Amino acid sequence: MTYTIRILFVCHGNICRSPMAEFVMKDLVRRRNLENRYEIASAATSREELGNPVYPPARRKLAEKGIACAGHRARQMTKDDYDDYDLIVCMDRNNIRNALRITGGDSQQKIVLLLDYADRAGEEVADPWYTGDFDATWDDIVSGCEGLLKHFCRSGPFFMEATKNNKTLSFNPKQTSKKSKNIDQTFVFETHVNIFRGHHRLWGVFEAGIPVEFLVAYEAA
């Protein structure tokens, strides 16, 4: 059994940056034949643009690169999105603050900045609604999305289920250690127990961005 990696891109209005990131990421995944392994969407932290399509200059920039965005309608992020998605990727720190207000916190360390994945920790994707520079926004989003996909391909999630004396175990991806041990010829990462999206998962290295299920023998501490 395999699981889908669920990514939600977030910006203020969900008509420029976050839908651009959504459709860029979908295109990257499609070109690697991984569409059935990823669920990708976007949302706003505000209600200002609810129901509106992608902003025309953003739509033109996507079309210029051969990427369609038909059918998109802006929606606001909800508290349930925190449980429904594995990663909530924001464009700037204001988005993070507003996302935290909606979710009530980030106990599972899911809320991140896109450009953190482009080796530009702490930097923000400027809002082209104000700058008018959709070329710069495009470059930032492509760089971040490519880095995000590389992150999953290099160290992203593979999934497993483990039970010990009818007690379910799950694992926090942010706390996975590089240390490991071999149990019954199974590679098991040492990590601490934490609830993560209702599944029992162990994160580690895998190939081609494809989540793979492993049968493991895990001895609870």
Same domain (yes/no): 29, 92: yes
Check pLDDT > 60 for residue 184: no
Same domain (yes/no): 63, 123: yes
What is the 8-class DSSP label of residue 133?
-
At 199, which amino acid appears?
Answer: H
Q: What is the mean pLDDT of residues 85-91?
A: 95
The residue with tokens 């450009």 is 115
Nearest-angstrom CA–CA distance, 214 and 221: 20
Same domain (yes/no): 53, 103: yes
Same domain (yes/no): 194, 127: no
CA distances (Å), 13 to each of 4, 20, 60, 90, 175, in order? 26, 12, 18, 12, 32
Same domain (yes/no): 99, 195: no
Nearest-angstrom CA–CA distance, 211 and 201: 11
Would you tell me the crossing angle of helices 134-155 and 17-31 to the nearest 10 degrees? 50
CATH number of the CATH domain containing 57: 3.40.50.2300
Degrees, nearest 5: CA angle 38-43-46:
165
Range of the domain at 185: 157-214
pLDDT per position as a tens digit, 119-129: 898 899 999 99
Does the residue 221 lie in any domain? Answer: no
Nearest Cα residue to 90 out of 124, 65, 61, 130 = 124
pLDDT per position as a tens digit, 126-170: 999 999 999 999 999 999 999 998 887 654 443 333 333 333 334
**Which of 104, 130, 155 is the C-terminal boundary of a domain?**
155
Strand 213-214 and strand 180-183: pairing? unpaired
CB distance 105 to 193 below 8 Å: no
What residues are annotated to the active site?
11, 17, 127
* pLDDT score, position 154: 55
Would you tell me the crossing angle of helices 56-64 and 134-155 to the nearest 10 degrees? 60
* pLDDT score, position 189: 35
Nearest-angstrom CA–CA distance, 140 and 53: 21
Confidence grade of residue 39 (pLDDT, cut at 50, 70, 90): very high
Tally of domains within the chain: 2
Strand 87-90 and strand 111-113: pairing? parallel
Same domain (yes/no): 62, 129: yes
